[in-house]
Structure 1
Amino acid sequence: MTVANAFDPANAAGFAEDEAALIARRQRLLGPAYRLFYAHPVHVVRAEGVWLYGRDGEAYLDAYNNVASVGHGHPHVVAALARQAATLNTHTRYITDGILDYAERLLATMPAAISNIMFTCTGSEANDLALRVAKAATGGTGVIVTENAYHGVTDLLAQMSPSLGPSAPVGPTVRVVAAPSGQADAGAVFARGVSEAIANMAVHGIRPAALLVDTIFSSDGVFADPAGFLAPAVELVRKAGGLFIADEVQPGFGRTGAGMWGFARHGLTPDLVTMGKPMGDGHPMAAMAGRPEHLEAFGRNVRYFNTFGGNPVSCAVGMAVLDVIEAEGLIANASEVGAAFKRELEALAANDGRLGAVRGAGLFLGVDIVDAQGTPDATRAAAIVNGLRERRVLISATGRHGHSLKIRPPMVFSQENVALFMDRLKDTLAGL
């Protein structure tokens, strides 16, 4: 697995003494499994809006962090958190109003058929819960995912996240299909792969439980077009007895600029929807929503409880995030600024052969980096990611080959922020 923005501890020569000591301390205390971004890691001490600030006050333009979806430290969200934390915080086995008010408001953003919601703390937990529900509802165990998918870090989800690499092999009832690649017939091609996966399951006596996809295929390289291409594959899975789980942890909450949810661009009503990261603007909260008929078997036979999922503070934060999305028109902003951003990148790509296809929707963009023959160039993608970091702009890279720039800023990103990004990208390309 290629990780374009990974820090290699062996390359810390030349770092300031205190910086090197801090990295060594981190490795000693947190162990070897944690990773740092960038060839030269960024030491941040505070954040506001679209900016992260280093220890010396230097500002970094955050063009990557969809966790702080409505901007780092948004005052309305912070005030809601502090107010509720000073009033009450407990679990969901007491009757409280906040969880019900939030559930009603959040479900109102979804198709009417999706009318139940269960709260967790992380997207991994939400996807784990969705798979348990799907298995209970269908009696199946087979799950179809894409070839470089990422769906979580639990033992179960790691078996459905090929992007984690060979150290986390896919599970015996998991089938991997090629991600759509943006071509005009993407729907037919993707459906053919799903059909072959279902047929392979049948040969091995595996009943399908679910097709699990991130609806913008974030880890596969960001694939959004043509809108609607998911529908034929979903129909096939349902005919085979499985459910469609829309993983909205990355594309959800208005990021694509076409409504609240990525699945809406495909004209679909999922069976189950999972969500997380942007839900709390940095506060750890997540959820699974679904059709009540699918939750019936699970709820009848399983007692489910999550100590922190849906607690009053989390629900107050979630409500505040929805307030900001609505009051500040952030879905429209994602659409307008994202479209302008994409046009700027396409114009640059037309004049610089190192940039290949530009893809995405709203403020979720992917840009392929290629060599002179047009083949994936992960080394150059890493150089661009790290070159931007040195110019205080933060992005990442993604895709099976690690060659696609992943641009996913907070939804308050402005046209001025786009202009600054483009200037520094051009400087970075000139310096390669």
Structure 2
Amino acid sequence: MSTITKAIPQRSPQEIIDLRRRHLNPSLSMSYQQPVKMVRGRGAYLYDQDGQAYLDMVNNVCHVGHCHPSVVAAGQAQMAELNTNTRYLHDNIVEYARRLSATFPEELSVVFLTNSGTEANDLALRLARTYSQAHDIIVVDHAYHGNSPTMIELSPYKFDGKGGQGRPAHIQVAEIPDDYRGRFRRGEADVGPRYAQDLHRAIAAIHARGEKPAAFFCESILGCGGQVVLPDHYLKEAYATARAAGAVCVADEVQVGFGRAGTHFWAFETQAVVPDIVTMGKPICNGHPMGAVVTRPEIAQAFMNGMEYFNTFAGNPVSCAMGLAVLDVIEQEQLQNNALQVGNAILHGLVELQKEFDMIGDVRGMGLFIGVEMVKDRHSLEPATEAANAVIEYLKAHHILLSTDGPYDNVLKLKPPIVFSMDNAEEFLRCLRDALRSIA
């Protein structure tokens, strides 16, 4: 049986903007002062309707490159064969669970599949509360863990931001361990453990409510907090404190997992810890909607309380086929090592630019997850928010896509596909120098 599908009209950017405003969620934002219509992607590049290439330095979803042929082919082949749910037996889901768990420390061996990082964090919350038989949660300031109602409650980035309703009573917010502008600074002794001490305050506040902590959620490298690399030993001390109070430790790897950190496949490994639960999403399937939770067997077993966890689409054969292809590509193309080598080259180049431009207050990062904090004054650390956004617009005008983040929106965030090359890095550094000169 053949069918004829209607062709989708090719509209101008302004026509699309007008239709978005008429028919789409009005809170849905668009990037840049003049939004771009993208029609194609390949590797580290996106292409607009005129065929103009843009170097993509902000898309950590298409982890192994836009439209990677192996990932696309895996999805196409499986979609043409079968797509169904996990109530039927299928090789793909067990093979994916086996391959994914093999990347973790042996204590973490049970896999739950979801459709997104939000769902993964939401499920991690349920697991933690069921296992600990407690309710209250500790999170890190300015964290973002997802867009569901329960994850908004766990995300200071949202509940303390525009439209937010403030911190819920059952959430305690630990101090952000920012060793650039926080209370304890890089180069001082025991910075990580000193920041981790704030969990004692959070736990005391929970006990004062007559409650117990169920979980401590922390990104392995802080994203919305401003691309902040955790100080040495922070997680070791924070996890010990949380566990002593009966809490489960959750590592949110939604942005930084799958080799992006360069030195390790999972960023929590850089802190020499083993979490109780790890969540992931974004890069797991290179743009196809998928997420996962990996946990200890005893936590998974405690979840067997009679209420089945079934998710209609999670773990379907197509998603698993594409997830397996992503793992294959990372290994075969040695992309974790690429993230390390290219990331180090970018960090070195940024440090050199820092010597030339006083408005670069801090350069930090790991692998291909890097932050450049812009300041008006290196002593007062007054944020240079306008300058940071001017750099973003300059780069976009010169066909490089970047964005800002952090509590003051003054941190250039670099998180490109991990196929990003040395040539790409050199192109970015040249253009960034020009951008800084233009606004100096």
Distance, in Å, in 2 between the alignment partners of 1:128 and 1:151 is 9
State the TM-score, normalizing by the size of structure 2: 0.92
Deviation of the 1:166 alpha carbon: 4.2
1:216-295 aligned within 5 A? 216-295=221-300
Q: Deviations over 1:277-315 (max 9, x none)?
A: 000011111011100101222222321111110000000
**Structure 1 equivalent of residue 71 of structure 2:** 77
1:43 paired with 2:50, answer no
Distance, in Å, in 2 between the alignment partners of 1:339 and 1:64 is 17
**Structure 2 equivalent of residue 355 of structure 1:** 360
Deviation of the 1:226 alpha carbon: 3.6
Identity of aligned residues (%): 43
1:414 paired with 2:421, answer yes
For the residue of structure 2 that corresponds to 1:411, the secondary structure is: coil
Distance, in Å, in 2 between the alignment partners of 1:106 and 1:405 is 31
For the residue of structure 1 that corresponds to 2:77, the secondary structure is: helix
C-alpha RMSD of the superposition:
1.3
**Structure 2 equivalent of residue 139 of structure 1:** 133
Distance, in Å, in 1 between the alignment partners of 2:293 and 2:167 is 23
State the TM-score, normalizing by the size of structure 1: 0.94
**Structure 1 equivalent of residue 182 of structure 2:** none
Which of 378, 392, 395 pairs up with 1:388? 395
Q: Deviations over 1:343-384 (max 9, x none)?
A: 100110111001111011000000100003532121211111
> Which moves more between the two structures, 178-187 or 411-420?
178-187
Q: Is the 8 A contact 1:151 1:158 kept in 2?
A: yes
> Which moves more between the two structures, 363-372 or 224-233?
224-233
Which of 146, 167, 170 pairs up with 2:167? 170
Q: Is the 8 A contact 2:338 2:418 kept in 1?
A: yes
**Structure 2 equivalent of residue 425 of structure 1:** 432
Deviation of the 1:188 alpha carbon: 1.9
Deviation of the 1:429 alpha carbon: 1.3
For the residue of structure 2 that corresponds to 1:230, the secondary structure is: helix
> Which moves more between the two structures, 202-211 or 220-229?
220-229
**Structure 2 equivalent of residue 379 of structure 1:** 386
Deviation of the 1:97 alpha carbon: 1.0
**Structure 2 equivalent of residue 90 of structure 1:** 84
For the residue of structure 1 that corresponds to 2:288, the secondary structure is: coil
1:119 paired with 2:118, answer no
> Which moves more between the two structures, 320-329 or 177-186?
177-186
1:96-107 aligned within 5 A? 96-107=90-101
Q: Is the 8 A contact 2:216 2:242 kept in 1?
A: yes
Distance, in Å, in 1 between the alignment partners of 2:300 and 2:70 is 34
Q: In structure 2, give the amino acid aligned to 1:77.
A: V
Distance, in Å, in 2 between the alignment partners of 1:251 and 1:31 is 28
Q: Is the 8 A contact 2:154 2:171 kept in 1?
A: yes
1:215 paired with 2:220, answer yes
Which of 14, 31, 36 pairs up with 1:20? 14
Unaligned runs of 5+ in 2: 1-10, 180-185
Q: In structure 1, give the amino acid aligned to 2:385.
A: A
Q: In structure 2, give the amino acid aligned to 1:350.
A: K
Which of 322, 341, 352 pairs up with 2:327? 322
Q: Is the 8 A contact 1:225 1:360 kept in 2?
A: no
Q: Deviations over 1:183-218 (max 9, x none)?
A: 343312321211111111111112101110111011
Deviation of the 1:225 alpha carbon: 4.7
For the residue of structure 1 that corresponds to 2:381, the secondary structure is: coil
Distance, in Å, in 1 between the alignment partners of 2:25 and 2:147 is 17
Distance, in Å, in 1 between the alignment partners of 2:266 and 2:167 is 27
Unaligned runs of 5+ in 1: 1-16
Distance, in Å, in 2 between the alignment partners of 1:94 and 1:51 is 39
Q: Is the 8 A contact 1:145 1:213 kept in 2?
A: yes
**Structure 1 equivalent of residue 4 of structure 2:** none
Distance, in Å, in 1 between the alignment partners of 2:343 and 2:259 is 12
